[in-house]
Structure 1
Amino acid sequence: MRVLILDPFHGAAGDMITAALLDCGADRNIVVRAMKAVVAEPKISRVTRAGIQALRIETKALPVHRTLSEVLERLDTAAPHVPALAMARRVFERINAAEEEVHGGHVHFHEIGADDAIADIVGACTALHTLGIDRVHILPVTLGHGTGTGSHGTFPIPAPATAAILRHANLSTISGVHAGELCTPTGAALLAEFQAAAGAPGELPAYTIKALGYGAGTRDPAHAPNVLRAMVVETTGTNSGNPEDTVDILETNVDDVSGEVIAHAIARFMDAGARDASAIPIVMKKGRPGYLIRVICLPETSTKIAELMAMELGTLGIRCIPSVHRFIAERTVEEIEVEIAGTTKKCPVKLGWMHGSVYMLKAEFEPARIFSSEVGIPVREVLRIIEETAWKQVRK
């Protein structure tokens, strides 16, 4: 498994994250092209921070105050072909949710709404996309301490928006010994989105380091390197450390159980914590028709579910295929506004994510069925319209 480890011990800001990923091997041409869609070509240079060589990326733009809708419009019009545009939009939605939590509705982005901040977010998301990462592991985020100043005056560190973003992301933090703001709202939102989109690997097993990069911040204190470190590693074990990645498979054959009992048993298995359960028609010994009952579950629940299988199905033996590694795609459910036959409705759509991009989507059936009844159109047509609308939105 290919894992990106980000170490924001000395701080996290959008430009530092982008630079660290570039230094770690992200495709510079693609990243620069994405950033140039928003601002002029960024300046990339090699600098030294307290003895550590790092990459520094600088974008120049005038400060602009924008609402979320204005920022998203800026993204859609300036950078419609950016491969990680959907991820960049979600980063701004995280920031907006935090700002609204702190200041109330209809907030304006200040420093975060400027073109250079938009370019940093677009650059960081694109850089992650080009690295081809399976998982992202975020080490504790150093916040700093004291007070800072911004468009809303003097604020305690961490800034209120930064604290709100980190709270919802459940990222580990430390104050550190350095005064000043070390983690910005942009940096916090990027770290939160990276971990959500690529999935945290849990406790990492042994790994080998394949690439190493440092992204420099603006300041250059003598006592500590103002850098963010990124490492691309390959895990050397078969277990990623995430218990959801390893499952047991339980199987048994039955030929004397009715369909009603099998349906009831499968429902019981799912209620008991099974990840999946199925009944497959088979031909058993002596040519008798029967069913292969297969249940997928976590190792810690396999004994309980095997006993339940024996009780519900009356079988005398359960085969257990232990510790099977499985691929789990990151998934989200988003509300998509759809208009059909003059009626507009928000419909839930399940999205599957890989490397920061949507690779599959599927409209939820039950809301689509209800919509179908309301507009008098076959449900298969409603499903098609919902999914086509969703694809147009995620590909913007």
Structure 2
Amino acid sequence: MRILAIDPFHGAAGDMFLGALLDLGTDRDAVIRVMASVVASPTIEIVTRAGIQAVKIHTHAGPASRTLEEVIERVRTSSAPAVVIARAEAVFQRIATAERSIHGKMEHFHEVGADDAIADVLGSCMAMHAISPEAVTVLPVATGSGTVKMAHGIYPVPAPATAAILSAGGLQVILGGGTGELCTPTGAALLAEFCTGQADSLPAGRLDATGYGAGDRDDPHTPNVLRMLLLTTSETVAEDEVDILETNVDDVPGEVIGYLLERLMEEGARDASATPLTMKKGRPGHLIRVICRPDDAKRLSIFMARETGTLGVRCIPAVHRFIADRRIEDIDCTINGNTGRFPVKFGTMEGSCYTLKAEYEYVCRFAREHNLPVVQVRREVEEAAWEKECKRQGFRQ
């Protein structure tokens, strides 16, 4: 199994994340092309931070203040593949959700809305797509200490948005690790978006490559770098433990349940669902069920109680589950003479794909643009994906 281990022992920022991936040996030309489609061609430099050579990115972009919609529109006009654009959108959605949780609303991105941040996020998503690790393990994140000056004023470190992103992503942190802001909102959002597991130390395996991405400051005592390591481990079926939270409600409107499920996912739930029930005295109701990390169980239980008014949330602790290895791949498909590119999620165990699914929003967008039934588009895309996978595995459908 190919694992990317990310070690933010001195924090993380967008340019550090991208620099480490470039130092690992990702497709540099592809990354530069994607970044150049939103800013001028970036400059890649080898610098030294406290004796360690690292890659530093210069985007040559100025400051800008944009709304989330403006940032998403700029991301969508890039030359990146659809799956990369979707990942970049998800990163900015994480930041926007954190901003709304702190300020009550999110009118504009300030530092994060600038072209350099957009280019860093797109470049990082493209670089990760090119490497395509089967799992991403994130070690504890150093946040820094002191204060940081931002558009809204002077804030303690970690900045409120950074803390909210790290919390929603369930990432372990080291409060401190250096002076100043070591982990930025962009760095936190990238870590949270790509993390598939956490550890206190590096996993066992063969070390294939190491990459270092440099930050701006050059601390003579501690290298201001983000370290990434590519490892190969013995291939096994991944597994972990989760808690299951449940509550029955019979007086909550459907709109509130829909809102609740969406917010639970934003708050870090692995999955959330509602099942219709017939409750005592024949009353219609719903079973709300949430799958989450054990560390998130209490926080999400309180959130469920506040949103629904329920007087109790059942917790089924430490349920053992098996996890399929996952990857997302772009599939080209022509339907009724119209050609499109669709992200498809593949699930594999022990090296063999056993399930796949076209990403729904792209299927719907294509169906709407070409006035086609969405079920037809999804079927043909998934058939094309199965055909490609069968050729890769060396057998016929």
How many Å separate the matches in 2 of 1:14 and 1:55? 12
How many Å separate the matches in 2 of 1:75 and 1:202? 32
Which residues of 2 match residues 326-365 of structure 1 at below 5 A? 327-329=324-326, 352=345, 360-361=357-358
Report what 1:322 is aligned to: none
How many Å separate the matches in 2 of 1:124 and 1:58? 14
Which residues of 2 match residues 169-188 of structure 1 at below 5 A? 169-188=169-188
How many Å separate the matches in 2 of 1:106 and 1:177? 30
Report what 1:109 is aligned to: 109
Aligned AA (2:120): D
Larger radius of gyration: 1
Report what 2:222 is aligned to: 224
SS at match of 1:48: strand
Count of residues in Structure 1 that have an aligned counterpart in Structure 2: 274
Report what 2:5 is aligned to: 5
Question: Residues 95-154 of structure 1, C-alpha deviation per residue, up to 9 Å, x if partnerless?
Answer: 000011111224200010001100000011111110021000000000001111011110
Which residues of 2 match residues 90-169 of structure 1 at below 5 A? 90-169=90-169
Contact residue 142 and residue 177 of structure 2 kept, 8 A: no
How many Å separate the matches in 2 of 1:126 and 1:161? 24
Identity, in percent, stands at 48
**Distance of aligned partners of 1:72 and 1:208 in 2 relative to their CA distance in 1, 3 Å threshold:** same
Stretches of structure 2 that go unaligned for 5 or more consecutive residues are 243-321, 329-342, 349-354, 365-371, 383-397
How many Å separate the matches in 1 of 2:226 and 2:360? 40
Which residues of 2 match residues 1-396 of structure 1 at below 5 A? 1-79=1-79, 81=81, 83-195=83-195, 199-200=196-197, 206-236=204-234, 238=236, 240=238, 242=240, 327-329=324-326, 352=345, 360-361=357-358, 384=375, 387=378
Aligned AA (1:182): L
Contact residue 7 and residue 229 of structure 1 kept, 8 A: yes
**Distance of aligned partners of 1:97 and 1:211 in 2 relative to their CA distance in 1, 3 Å threshold:** same
How many Å separate the matches in 2 of 1:51 and 1:354? 42
Question: 1:360: how far off?
Answer: 2.2
Aligned AA (2:224): N
SS at match of 1:154: strand
SS at match of 2:19: helix
**Distance of aligned partners of 1:146 and 1:87 in 2 relative to their CA distance in 1, 3 Å threshold:** same
Contact residue 10 and residue 177 of structure 2 kept, 8 A: no
Aligned AA (1:131): I
Contact residue 36 and residue 42 of structure 1 kept, 8 A: yes
SS at match of 1:57: strand
CA RMSD of aligned residues (A): 3.3
Question: 1:68: how far off?
Answer: 0.6
Question: 1:386: how far off?
Answer: 8.5
SS at match of 2:77: helix
How many Å separate the matches in 2 of 1:177 and 1:201? 18
Aligned AA (2:151): S
**Distance of aligned partners of 1:41 and 1:382 in 2 relative to their CA distance in 1, 3 Å threshold:** closer
Contact residue 201 and residue 242 of structure 1 kept, 8 A: no
**Distance of aligned partners of 1:207 and 1:200 in 2 relative to their CA distance in 1, 3 Å threshold:** same
- Taking structure 2 as the reference length, what is the TM-score of the superposition? 0.63
Contact residue 201 and residue 241 of structure 1 kept, 8 A: no
- Taking structure 1 as the reference length, what is the TM-score of the superposition? 0.63
Contact residue 208 and residue 236 of structure 1 kept, 8 A: no
**Distance of aligned partners of 1:223 and 1:68 in 2 relative to their CA distance in 1, 3 Å threshold:** same
Contact residue 324 and residue 347 of structure 2 kept, 8 A: no
Question: 1:175: how far off?
Answer: 1.6
How many Å separate the matches in 1 of 2:81 and 2:175? 39
**Distance of aligned partners of 1:386 and 1:169 in 2 relative to their CA distance in 1, 3 Å threshold:** farther
Question: Residues 281-306 of structure 1, C-alpha deviation per residue, up to 9 Å, x if partnerless?
Answer: xxxxxxxxxxxxxxxxxxxxxxxxxx
Aligned AA (1:352): K
How many Å separate the matches in 2 of 1:359 and 1:19? 32
How many Å separate the matches in 2 of 1:70 and 1:13? 22
Aligned AA (2:357): M
Question: 1:352: how far off?
Answer: 3.3
How many Å separate the matches in 2 of 1:149 and 1:233? 38
Report what 2:253 is aligned to: none
Aligned AA (1:89): E
Question: Residues 158-202 of structure 1, C-alpha deviation per residue, up to 9 Å, x if partnerless?
Answer: 00000000111000000234110000000000000011xxx2277
Question: 1:35: how far off?
Answer: 0.6
**Distance of aligned partners of 1:6 and 1:66 in 2 relative to their CA distance in 1, 3 Å threshold:** same
How many Å separate the matches in 1 of 2:360 and 2:235? 36
SS at match of 1:34: helix
